[in-house]
Amino acid sequence: MKTSIALIGFMGAGKSAVGKVLAKRLEKTFIEVDSSIERKAGKSIPRIFKENGEIGFRELEIKVIKEIAASKNQIISCGGGAVLNRINIERLKQDSVIVWLKVSPSVVFRRTGLDVYTRPLLGGIQGSEDIRHLLNFRRPFYESSADFAVNTSKLSIDRVVNLILDKLKEYADYNR
């Protein structure tokens, strides 16, 4: 029986906002992979990217997800690129139903404000067309990782949470 839910999806999809509410509703522990990476590294994500590069960041991400995946009863908010390394998903899948929060490029653009300071991968991105490219590249990774998806582009946080709770009822191997 699975006891956790892992939220995947692009930057700005609402993984953390939705995850916090979901954790309250289900009385489970909310865990943000990015914050755990920052704690482990003792520095911020932009600094990790700057000093260790994206590869250094991905290596840390793999280590942290391995540790997180060993605990139960969690709502795990994954960084947008966690799906790029299949090992992360294999580890998460052992105890988590994987939920893909979908989002349109224009909404990503609006929600992130292309904030390069907190999201280094947005550096070099000019607008929603560039976001569309990156999203198109990532889509198969999200698609093949997810048990199910919810499009958050036009929905409130509560509505997304309710949809997730509804869909979870179809999962016999998930233990509420």
Kindly list the residues in this chain that would bind ligand S3P in the complex (CB under 6 A): 11, 15, 34, 45, 79-81, 119-121
Which CB atom, from 153 or from 171, has the smaller least distance to ligand S3P?
153
With CB atoms as reference, the residue minimizing the distance to ligand S3P is 79
Which CB atom, from 45 or from 114, has the smaller least distance to ligand S3P?
45
Give dist(CA 81, CA 151) in Å, integer: 18
CB count in 10 Å sphere of residue 98: 22
Which CB atom, from 105 or from 120, has the smaller least distance to ligand S3P?
120
Show the tokens assigned to 72: 């139960």
Instruction: Order across the sheet with 96-102: list the strands.
Output: 29-32, 74-77, 4-8, 96-102, 148-151
Give dist(CA 102, CA 150) in Å, integer: 6
Shortest reach from residue 12's CB to ligand S3P, in Å: 7
Shortest reach from residue 150's CB to ligand S3P, in Å: 16
- At 155 the three-state DSSP class reads coil
Shortest reach from residue 70's CB to ligand S3P, in Å: 20
Shortest reach from residue 163's CB to ligand S3P, in Å: 20
Give me the count of residues in the chain: 176
